[in-house]
Homo-oligomer: A and B are copies of this chain.
Amino acid sequence: MAPLTVDKLNEHVVNAKYAVRGRLALRAEELREQLKANPGSLPFKKVVNANIGNPQQLDQNPITFYRQVLALVQYPDLLKNPDSELLFKKDAIERAKFLINEIGSVGAYSHSKGIPAVRKSVAKFIEQRDGFPSDPERIYLCAGASIGVTQLLSALSTGPTSGFLIPIPQYPLYSATLTLVNSTAVQYHLDEKKGWATNVDEVRSIVNAAKLQNIDLKSIVVINPGNPTGAILSEQNIRDIIDVAADDHLVIIADEVYQANVFVGEFISFKKVLRQLQQENPGSKYDSVQLASIHSTSKGMIGECGQRGGYMELTGFHPEVEEHIYKLASIALCPVVTGQVLTELMVNPPAPGGDSYETFISEYNGIFNTLKHRANNLYQAFKQMEGVEVQEPQGAMYLFPRITIPQKAIDAAKEVNEVADEFYCLQLLERTGICVIPGSGFGQQEGTWHFRTTFLAPGDDYAIDLVNFHKEFMDKYRD
């Protein structure tokens, strides 16, 4: 037998938990295989992965302009052939030529921070979004937001006494990575009754409590729009969080990957509010705030998760600190170059007047409206369900309903050694093929139960199946 057993592994690796692809997701895979091998053997016809924001795994089509440019940069010989003008739009051809000229081959390693021209486009996008300058040298392209987050947490972590404030509920990348780097996750709870708002008074009191416990607080993680909650932070909320960060020298990690997925209200970036505060208060504490803002090509209307694009903008960091973050990027050589190309396309979409513009707008709006429609559909379904409370969908790709699990079900869960919401989600999966993630994977207030579902799945069947399952579950376990 293999001499290397789990007890001899890195304990932090063993202890890390990642629910999004955990037990539920593994079981969903098994069921999918079973359906393939034996189609009639289960009470449903297909497995629906509502556990992960992966729009193109469901029915979302990629945006044509992006894919045209990507095809051309992969195979530039097409540009030499006059027949290709029949197949590609003029502005896609022009963009591909521009990028090929800047990059050379997408098969070459790029600069570890990313292709300079792409970083320039990102900086321009940020300037236009915020109305404040952005420096391409402060932009680090990364193969998906997760890589940027991992590099930051790894650079900032100094062992078990170093603390990172994370929201609860949170996207489990944060808790998993903090376990891996052997740091302490210091939790602040979002206020469910106020649409999952951030209660900055609570954050302050948690900061003070952590200090009393001699935790060396390094950073505060903010996810805006929220994952799994979908909540959008107000400008006041953002100001207050920056205040805490300025007072306590916390690096702000602003996970803003859902910035385009906003149905209610408005997305305001941390960078913009920070620059406003600095402008309003010259020579103040705000000058020393350090902010890492993260964006991705996996979400928004682009939804290109498998292409692994994204960027991180560092604001206010010490140049020597940046050198070490750059070194971490160097050890990984470079982010995948086609993902960098896609990042350029995301931040620099087709311009009005170009051949691709109308198709682009229609595809973009189509996806936006579909997502909004599906979010509301699911919201309405949850509102009907017995003992379920759910916040109005504001943004991101998720709903995070609170479910009242009857004591009888809690007891039944205990008997099979499962947490109550995991028990609920596993039964949902086994009965309907719908895979969602229990709230315990994201964190929740003691004694409350939730699950996270994407609202990406097409059709009404999905909502109907959820409603029917819930009724059945309640009928079986109602106290």
Q: Which residues of A contact B (CB under 8 A)?
A: 1-6, 8-11, 13-14, 16, 18, 20-22, 29, 52, 54-57, 61-62, 64, 67-68, 70-72, 74-75, 77-78, 81, 83-84, 86-87, 104-112, 143-144, 146-147, 150, 154-158, 173, 176-177, 180-181, 249, 251, 288, 290, 298, 303-308, 316-318, 320-321, 324, 327-328, 330-339
CA distance A176 to B324 in the complex (A): 12
The one of B155, B318, B333, B334 that contacts A5, using a Cβ cutoff of 8 Å: B318
The one of B13, B143, B308 that contacts A154, using a Cβ cutoff of 8 Å: B13
Contacts of A84 in B (CB 8 A): 87
Q: Once the chains bind, are B56 and A108 in contact (CB under 8 Å)?
A: yes
Q: Once the chains bind, are A2 and B62 in contact (CB under 8 Å)?
A: no
Q: Once the chains bind, are B13 and A328 in contact (CB under 8 Å)?
A: yes
Q: Shortest beta-carbon distance, A147 to chain B, in Å?
A: 7
Contacts of A9 in B (CB 8 A): 155-156, 158, 321, 324
**Which of A107, A249, A308 has most chain B Cβ within 10 Å?**
A107
Q: Shortest beta-carbon distance, A332 to chain B, in Å?
A: 6
The one of B77, B307, B320 that contacts A107, using a Cβ cutoff of 8 Å: B307
CA distance A338 to B78 in the complex (A): 19
List 14 extra interface pairs beyond A5-B318, A57-B108, A71-B74, CB under 8 A.
Answer: A4-B249, A5-B321, A14-B324, A18-B327, A57-B105, A70-B75, A106-B306, A107-B306, A173-B331, A180-B331, A305-B333, A306-B334, A307-B336, A307-B338
CA distance A143 to B332 in the complex (A): 10
Q: Shortest beta-carbon distance, A106 to chain B, in Å?
A: 5
Q: Once the chains bind, are B158 and A306 in contact (CB under 8 Å)?
A: no
Contacts of A75 in B (CB 8 A): 67-68, 70-71
Contacts of A333 in B (CB 8 A): 21, 144, 146, 305
Contacts of A306 in B (CB 8 A): 105-110, 334, 336-338
Instruction: Evaluate whether A13 and B143 lie within 8 angstroms (CB atoms) in the complex, with A86-B83, A104-B57, A107-B303 already known.
Output: no
Q: Shortest beta-carbon distance, A277 to chain B, in Å?
A: 16
Contacts of A11 in B (CB 8 A): 158
A306's closest neighbor in chain B, by CB? B337
Q: Once the chains bind, are B154 and A180 in contact (CB under 8 Å)?
A: yes
Q: Once the chains bind, are B4 and A318 in contact (CB under 8 Å)?
A: yes
Contacts of A144 in B (CB 8 A): 332-333
Q: Shortest beta-carbon distance, A237 to chain B, in Å?
A: 23
Q: Once the chains bind, are A6 and B54 in contact (CB under 8 Å)?
A: no
A287's closest neighbor in chain B, by CB? B1
- Per CB-CB distance, the 5 closest pairs between chain A and chain B, nearest first, are A306-B337, A71-B75, A21-B330, A107-B304, A3-B249
Contacts of A104 in B (CB 8 A): 56-57
Q: Once the chains bind, are A21 and B71 in contact (CB under 8 Å)?
A: no
Contact sample, A vs B, 21 pairs, CB 8 Å cutoff: A1-B318, A4-B290, A5-B318, A9-B158, A10-B155, A10-B156, A21-B330, A56-B105, A57-B109, A62-B107, A64-B77, A70-B75, A71-B75, A74-B74, A84-B87, A106-B307, A108-B305, A109-B306, A177-B331, A306-B334, A336-B339
Contacts of A22 in B (CB 8 A): 330
